[in-house]
């Protein structure tokens, strides 16, 4: 390893930063060196922070983003699933509120002999994390060795687990830096962060669920579309069959936000029930994953696997392989608080961001990655936009182990829902807004 004070570096960090600061184009060699030198400590955090800000302000070409992503992949190991007897497909969501789709989706796709290596993360802020949800199931463990993952993919067909430290370690450093330097929003850095890990993961096909709306990272369709196109381009250039769906995150997915609450709802979907929006998005993503993996199925065939028990059988096998008990009672919060409808009419708004922040304040999420979460905390929604409600009926039930959290959680919901006497004030919105390939 080259020491941080070495005088034998190929480039000077300040010169490379100035190039991007002045809207120049970085060479392949400059990008390769910048990522490598930052990973081994020859480029300081404050220097990479300056580079990230220059990228945020001045952007990158497709070629620059592709090389940046390639350099991030090269900073660590790459997985290889070519020895499996079936093709692989993965899904990545850019994050939202009530987004429990991975839980029913992975076993559903596995029904059709496509293996799903779902390397997932934990929640931060108002967006939930798949591993936090799964860890509310007694006995389930997130950490698997590569050998354990390969065995489970061959025998069961689906695995949800934590990504190892060896995948794109440069991204781990840069992600933490972006979080504290106001550069999270840089589309080239978002795209390269997501895709470096997904390409290094080695899956043959990838479907991206790019959320747009108040509860999403991308608030407007134009930015979401740009991010989706950038990521699809990166995947395609790397030889991964990649497609993206733009999906609505203006209102929460399903009727729950919170870890164990969302697991319960996911099991309902696997049992052939559950909220329509969760089922529709799960099926839409499964159809895309199967087609991308070369095992196409029509929507009716995919839906049948939810209603006839095959997806549930895969779910139980997936849980059991990782020590989880599918018969265990899910945790419930010690305290609840009910918010009732203030008037009668049609619920025209239920803001995803407001619900997400409220659930976070109840203990379902974390402000820092090392913070604990409450498995039973969160929010149940008793109506969705378009539903008729009556004054005094339960609208939302808040769950937490620590009732002193209720005041701030309720405050987060102020202005987050609206009821109109005129049903014409509500316009339904499709869950899938656009397909990008």
- Sequence ranges of the domains in the chain: 13-59, 89-163+170-321, 335-425
Closest CA to 299 of 94, 112, 88, 106: 112
Per DSSP, the residues of 355-409 read: HHHHHIIIIIS-SSTT----TT-EEEES--TT-EE-TTSEEEEEEES-GGGHHHH
> Is the predicted pLDDT of residue 3 greater than 90, yes or no?
no
Say which of 70, 122, 133, 197 is annotated catalytic: 197
Active site residue 8: no
Question: Which residue is catalytic, options 90, 99, 171, 248?
Answer: 171
Give which of 196, 129, 117 is closest to 161, Cα–Cα. Answer: 117
Q: pLDDT tens-digit profile of 88-111?
A: 999 999 989 999 999 999 999 999
State the pLDDT at residue 2: 42
Average pLDDT over residues 145-156: 95
Integer-rounded Cα Rg, in Å, for the chain is 22
Could you give the 3-state DSSP secondary structure of residue 415? coil
- Above pLDDT 70, what percent of the chain? 98
197 annotated active-site: yes
Residue 183 has pLDDT above 70, yes or no: yes
The contacts of residue 324 (CB under 8 Å, 6+ apart) are 134, 137, 138, 139, 140, 141
Contact 104, 311 (CB under 8 A): yes
Give the pLDDT confidence of 288-317 residue by residue, as tens digits. Answer: 999 999 999 999 999 999 999 999 999 999
pLDDT tens digits along 35-74: 999 999 999 999 999 999 999 999 999 999 999 999 999 9
Check whether 6 has a pLDDT greater than 70.
Answer: no
Q: What pLDDT, on a 0 to 100 scale, did the predictor assign at position 367?
A: 73
**Using one digit for the tens of pLDDT, what is the confidence trace for 330-349?**
999 999 999 999 999 999 99
Q: Does residue 255 come out as left (phi exceeding 0), alpha (psi in the -120 to 50 range) or beta? A: alpha
Q: Work out the burial of residue 260: count CB atoms within 10 Å of its CB; fewer than 13 is exposed, 13-18 middle, 19 or more buried.
A: buried
Domain 13-59, CATH: 1.20.970.10
- CB 350 within 8 Å of CB 384: yes
pLDDT of 1 > 50? The answer is no
Q: Which residue has the higher pLDDT, 265 or 2?
A: 265
CATH of domain 89-163+170-321: 3.40.1030.10
Distance CA 181, CA 183 (A): 6
370 pLDDT more than 80: no
Q: What value does the mean pLDDT take over residues 411-422?
A: 96
Whole-number percent of the chain with pLDDT over 90: 86
Concerning whether 133 is annotated as a catalytic residue, the answer is: no
pLDDT at 400 over 90: yes
For the ranges 87-91, 184-188, 269-273, 352-356, which has the lowest average pLDDT?
A: 184-188
Catalytic-labelled residue, pool 93, 193, 214, 250: 193
CB 80 within 8 A of CB 117: no
Across the strands, what pairs with 350? Answer: 417
Q: What is the pLDDT of residue 5?
A: 46
pLDDT tier for residue 424 given thresholds of 50, 70 and 90: confident
Work out the average pLDDT over 82-88: 96
Report which secondary-structure segment, H or E, holds 283: helix 276-292
User: What class does CATH assign to 335-425?
Assistant: alpha beta
pLDDT of residue 29: 97
Nearest to 203 by CA among 115, 122, 322: 115
Most confident of 2-6, 110-114, 426-430: 110-114
- Provide the 3-class DSSP secondary structure of residue 340: strand
Q: What is the predicted pLDDT for the residue at 128?
A: 74
> Which position among 67, 92, 133, 399 bears the catalytic label?
92
What mean pLDDT comes out for the span 393-413?
98
Are 90 and 203 in contact, with CB atoms under 8 Å apart? yes
User: Catalytic residue among 91, 178, 314, 405, which?
Assistant: 178
Question: Is 171 one of the annotated active-site residues of the chain?
Answer: yes
Res. 124 pLDDT band, cuts 50 70 90: low
pLDDT of the residue at 121: 81
The CB-side HSE value for 285 (13 A sphere, CA atoms) comes to 35
Q: Is 92 annotated as catalytic?
A: yes
């Amino acid at each position: 390893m080259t020491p941080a004070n070495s005088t034998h570096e190929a480039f000077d960090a300040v010169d490379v930063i100035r190039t991007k600061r002045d809207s120049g184009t970085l060479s392949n060699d400059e990008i390769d060196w910048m990522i490598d030198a930052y990973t081994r400590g020859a480029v300081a955090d404050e220097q990479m922070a300056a580079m990230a800000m220059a990228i945020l302000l001045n952007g990158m070409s497709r070629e620059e983003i592709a090389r940046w992503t390639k350099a991030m992949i090269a900073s660590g190991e790459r997985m290889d699933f070519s020895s499996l007897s079936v093709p692989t497909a993965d899904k990545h969501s850019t994050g939202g509120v009530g987004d429990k789709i991975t839980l029913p989706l992975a076993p559903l796709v596995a029904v059709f002999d496509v293996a799903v290596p779902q390397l997932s993360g934990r929640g931060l802020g108002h967006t939930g994390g798949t591993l936090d949800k799964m860890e509310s199931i007694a006995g389930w463990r997130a950490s698997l060795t590569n050998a354990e993952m390969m065995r489970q993919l061959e025998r069961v067909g689906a695995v949800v687990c934590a990504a190892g430290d060896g995948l794109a370690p440069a991204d781990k450093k840069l992600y933490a830096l972006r979080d504290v330097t106001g550069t999270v929003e840089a589309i080239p850095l978002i795209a390269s962060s997501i895709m470096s890990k997904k390409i290094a993961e080695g899956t043959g096909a990838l479907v991206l669920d790019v959320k747009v709306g108040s509860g999403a990272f991308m608030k407007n369709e134009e930015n979401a579309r740009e991010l989706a196109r950038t990521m699809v381009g990166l995947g395609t250039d790397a030889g991964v069959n990649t497609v993206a769906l733009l999906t609505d995150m203006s209102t929460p997915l399903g009727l729950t936000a919170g870890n164990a609450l969302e697991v319960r709802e996911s099991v309902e979907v696997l049992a052939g029930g559950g909220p329509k929006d969760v089922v529709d998005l799960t099926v839409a993503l499964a159809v895309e994953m199967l087609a991308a993996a070369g095992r196409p199925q029509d929507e009716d065939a995919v839906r049948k696997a939810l209603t006839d028990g095959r997806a549930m059988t895969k779910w139980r096998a997936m849980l059991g392989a990782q020590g989880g008990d599918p018969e265990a009672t899910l945790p419930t919060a010690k305290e609840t608080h009910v918010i009732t409808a203030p008037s009668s009419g049609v619920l025209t708004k239920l803001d995803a961001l407001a619900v997400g922040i409220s659930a976070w304040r109840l203990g379902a999420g974390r402000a820092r990655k090392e913070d604990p979460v409450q498995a039973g905390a969160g929010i149940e929604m008793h109506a969705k936009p378009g539903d008729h409600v009556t004054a005094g009926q339960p609208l939302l039930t808040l769950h937490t182990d620590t009732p002193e959290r209720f005041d701030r959680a309720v405050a987060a919901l102020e202005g987050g829902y609206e009821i109109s006497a005129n049903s014409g004030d509500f316009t339904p919105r499709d869950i899938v807004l656009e397909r990008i390939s």
